[in-house]
């Protein structure tokens, strides 16, 4: 054999022997970054207007796998509970929506969190950011749910430097483990979470794999990113964007930029610690964006946060890792995903092969096959028993989407220039909505009357699931006098 032929044969042999990473080959570090109220079009891989500045997210999307049919719940607590436990909201008590500020409820201990499960595989877990899965007793805190440390907020709508809730109770809401923590009072959230993530990563004992759950506050209201707002004023952009984008959207763009700073810091910290090559970064939003006054964009999808329209539940998501073979990266995946799937998929990354008995599906097959094989064929978005023999529910089955009852308010299409394309159908005159999302992804034409057999089948699927609805163990509300003192939140009102 000639030398050139020999070397060609050797190279061919080496390539044929190269084996791509598969779950079980190693225990990778996993970083799960969950954004808050980030809309379908609020990421660089969608970006209808071409004006988002999020360089790290852009790079991760281009080097990873983005998901085009990824679904969460219409509001935050149900999505967070699903991600943490692998259960649909109807199966863990969170089908009623986001926890109220004074609500006596939380994620009960019978639902093992992903951190608790990962402990069985030798992982050390930490959490930063927004919990919103119960605060009224310590048993609900992240520090008792498998996370070795926690720094973040317990509620929603908290400010970004003074960490005060602005809803039912105006009080300071930044916690470290079980205690109020004031060392970061006055420090902007992006800087705080970046510093804490860097500390966790740089101090991690690499003999054990790391799980970091970073649930960023961005881009939830209040819109506070003034330091970055100048980036999105027309005079500083080429081409200028000023006249074509409303002020809420400019503030939203600044919030997205601030979110990307956190993502970039995490990436850089992993790289500096020599951990990146054995790390999987997962990214998603907890629900659709608030398009009417929250600076988000779900365009061209219909509706927004707090609705069952696609704009309320179809959200951006992606996964990135140097472990993945280049043959499966750099593309969009069209398989059906639900946020509960991250529970099973991340545990699969860690080496789990057992049946977890949850609603979430291990999506490695969908990821590794480049979408050629999709394990999930349906998503039960939610069921609420209206206690009068009817339900408010939403179900995806194949390409069909059925909504029963009210889809929620804000039923229109919202553009980033502030204009609204008003819907011609009327939620007050029908409680049955059917769309074929393969031909009508923006839900422009309700075809329920044209396909009564499909409607009957979808109703039967919902009715079959309804007896499995789980209620919270606790009920009622804490008194406002019990939950704060000296301007800070207290726990213990439902202990």
Catalytic residue list: 76, 132
Is residue 300 a contact partner of residue 48, using CB atoms and an 8 Å limit? yes
Neighbouring C-beta atoms of residue 72, cutoff 10 Å: 28
Measured CA distances, 11 to 4, 7, 8, 178, 273 (Å)? 11, 6, 5, 57, 32
Q: Which residues of 105-136 are buried (b: 16+ CB within 10 A; e: fewer)?
A: bbbbeebbbbbbbbbeeebbbbbbbbbbbbbb
Residue 467 in 3-state DSSP? helix
Give the tokens for residue 138: 């310590």
* HSE-up of residue 464 (Cα within 13 Å, Cβ side): 8
Q: Report CA 133 to chain centroid distance, whole Å.
A: 14
Residues 410 and 287: their CA atoms lie apart, in Å, by 15
DSSP string, 65-111: EEEEEEE--SSHHHHHHHHHHS--GGGTT-TT-SPPTTBS----TTS
Residues 80 and 78: their CA atoms lie apart, in Å, by 6
């Amino acid at each position: 054999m000639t030398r050139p032929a020999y070397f060609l044969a050797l190279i061919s042999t080496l390539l044929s022997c190269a084996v791509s990473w598969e779950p079980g080959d190693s225990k990778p570090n996993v970083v799960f970054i969950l954004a808050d109220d980030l809309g379908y079009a609020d990421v660089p891989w969608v970006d209808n207007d071409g004006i988002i500045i999020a360089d790290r997210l852009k790079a991760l999307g281009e080097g990873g796998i983005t998901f085009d049919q990824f679904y969460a719940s219409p509001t935050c607590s149900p999505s967070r509970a699903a991600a943490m436990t692998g259960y649909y909201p109807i199966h863990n008590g969170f089908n009623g929506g986001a926890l109220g500020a004074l609500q006596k409820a939380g994620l009960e201990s019978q639902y093992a969190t992903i951190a608790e499960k990962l402990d069985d595989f030798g992982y050390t877990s930490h959490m930063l950011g927004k919990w919103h899965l119960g605060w009224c007793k310590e048993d609900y805190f992240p520090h008792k749910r498998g996370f070795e440390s926690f720094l973040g907020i317990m509620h929603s709508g908290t400010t970004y430097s003074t960490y005060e809730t602005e809803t039912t109770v105006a009080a300071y809401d930044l916690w470290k483990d079980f205690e109020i923590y004031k060392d970061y009072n006055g420090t902007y959230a992006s800087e705080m979470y970046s510093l804490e993530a860097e500390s966790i990563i740089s101090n991690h004992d690499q003999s054990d794999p790391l799980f970091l759950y970073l649930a960023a506050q961005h881009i939830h209201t209040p819109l506070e990113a003034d330091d970055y707002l100048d980036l999105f004023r027309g005079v500083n952009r080429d081409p200028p964007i000023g006249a074509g984008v409303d002020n809420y959207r400019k503030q939203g763009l600044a919030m997205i930029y601030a979110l990307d700073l956190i993502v970039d810091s995490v990436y850089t910290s992993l790289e500096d610690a020599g951990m990146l090559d054995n790390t999987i970064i997962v990214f998603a939003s907890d629900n659709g964006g608030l398009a009417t006054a929250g600076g988000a964009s779900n365009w061209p999808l219909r509706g927004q946060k707090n609705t069952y329209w696609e704009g309320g539940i179809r959200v951006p998501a992606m996964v990135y890792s140097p472990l993945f073979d280049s043959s499966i990266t750099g593309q969009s995946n069209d398989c059906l995903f639900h946020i509960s799937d991250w529970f099973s998929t991340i545990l699969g990354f860690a080496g789990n092969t057992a049946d977890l008995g949850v609603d979430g599906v291990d999506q490695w097959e969908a990821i590794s096959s480049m979408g050629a094989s999709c394990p999930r064929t349906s998503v039960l978005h939610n069921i609420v028993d209206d206690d009068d023999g009817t339900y408010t529910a939403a179900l995806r089955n194949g390409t069909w989407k059925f909504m029963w009852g009210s889809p929620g308010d804000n039923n229109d299409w919202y553009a980033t220039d502030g204009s609204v394309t008003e819907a011609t159908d009327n939620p007050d005159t029908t409680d049955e909505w059917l769309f074929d999302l393969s031909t009508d992804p923006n839900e422009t034409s309700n075809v329920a009357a044209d396909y009564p057999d499909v409607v009957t089948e979808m109703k039967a699927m919902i009715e079959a699931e309804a007896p499995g609805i789980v209620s919270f163990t606790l009920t009622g509300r804490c008194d406002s006098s019990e939950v704060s003192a000296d301007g800070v939140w207290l726990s213990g009102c439902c202990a």
